Amino acid sequence: MTDFQLEVCGGCNAKIPAGSLDEILEAIPKFKRDDILVGFDSKDDSAVIKISDDVAIITSLDFFPPMVSDPYVFGQIAAANALSDIYAMGADPICALNIVAFPEEGKISSLEKILQGGASKVNEAQASLVGGHSIHDPKVKYGLSVIGKANPKKIWQNSTPRVGDKLILTKQLGVTLVVNAYNVKLASHEQFNKAISSMLSLNKYAKDILIDYDISSATDITGFSLLGHLGEMLADEYTAILKADEIPILDGAKKASSEFVFTKGGQRNRMFMEEKVEFQVDDFALEEVLYDPQTSGGLLVAIDPAVSGLISFTLPENTFNKQ
């Protein structure tokens, strides 16, 4: 095995559907310790454990199969995606553990590149890679278990918006559509590289800017799509209005959806959310973008509209380089 072939259900597109997860989680017995401030019952991006009045530990894990052919880049994307759950809580990562599944007959050099790619992102996050666990498995999978730290009084949660808040999305949508379109020669190399660059970008930089503002609610956009994660933020208590011409979309994503480059994850997201969404424009390609599963997507934050215009993002430009 010298490299990886793009998998239709790779990346966050491999997530179990939100509806199925809800049913599974409802059946799990719960014991709530007093020092657990946030658990899985609220569908937040990470768990929060209170250590003192000023310190809380944030913990999460994420892993998935490849969505790109280069093992080093796959490692980078998987690590950036896992670290994102910590940033989505307004926290800083401290350390990470590798989670690895790799074929027994696979080439160790490919596994080394995956781990090197992941380590490069952990280092960029100024966190320490402290170990991990690996098993043999017919399908390659990689990710991280991450521990972060924050003030418990300043934790961002994903379902606490205020009426009148403005929504800010820090990355463009459509990475799965563009990557899949590239695989079937319906997207250009330039469009593909921009999608890769987006997935490689740590949400650290957006979090470091937003942390100085009064954020009422935040999450990161991953496998359940913009509409799925926005639905979690609204928590059946609020309504959000999205303006079609203000939604940031990667070049090539709408073309891919108009060419019917669909994903199973996108269709599962549509089936789960369609009764909660009203489209007032006739644009099927746009709908597919909004249901598209994102891997290492941006932060979605709810913020006072009076200060939202003061925020300016300058994110690093990542280059897709094979190692």
Question: How confident is the model over 218-232, as pLDDT tens digits?
Answer: 999 999 999 999 999
Neighbour count for residue 206 (Cβ, 10 Å): 26
Element (H, E) at 64: strand 56-64
Q: How would DSSP label each residue in 24-44?
A: HHHTS-----TTEEE-GGGT-
pLDDT surpasses 50 at 2: no
Model confidence band, residue 16 (pLDDT cutoffs 50, 70, 90): low
pLDDT of residue 37: 86
pLDDT of residue 12: 56
Helix (H, G, I), strand (E, B) or coil at 269: helix
The answer to whether 207 and 58 are in contact (CB under 8 A) is no
pLDDT surpasses 50 at 129: yes
- The whole-chain average pLDDT of the chain stands at 88
pTM: 0.89
pLDDT surpasses 70 at 296: yes
Higher pLDDT: 242 or 38? It is 242
* Residue 12 annotated among the catalytic residues of the structure: yes
Question: How confident is the model over 161-208, as pLDDT tens digits?
Answer: 999 999 999 999 999 999 999 999 999 999 999 999 999 999 999 999
Question: How confident is the model over 78-108, as pLDDT tens digits?
Answer: 999 999 999 999 999 999 999 999 999 888 9
Q: Among residues 12, 167, 173, 273, which one is catalytic?
A: 12
What tokens were used for 128?
Answer: 């320490």
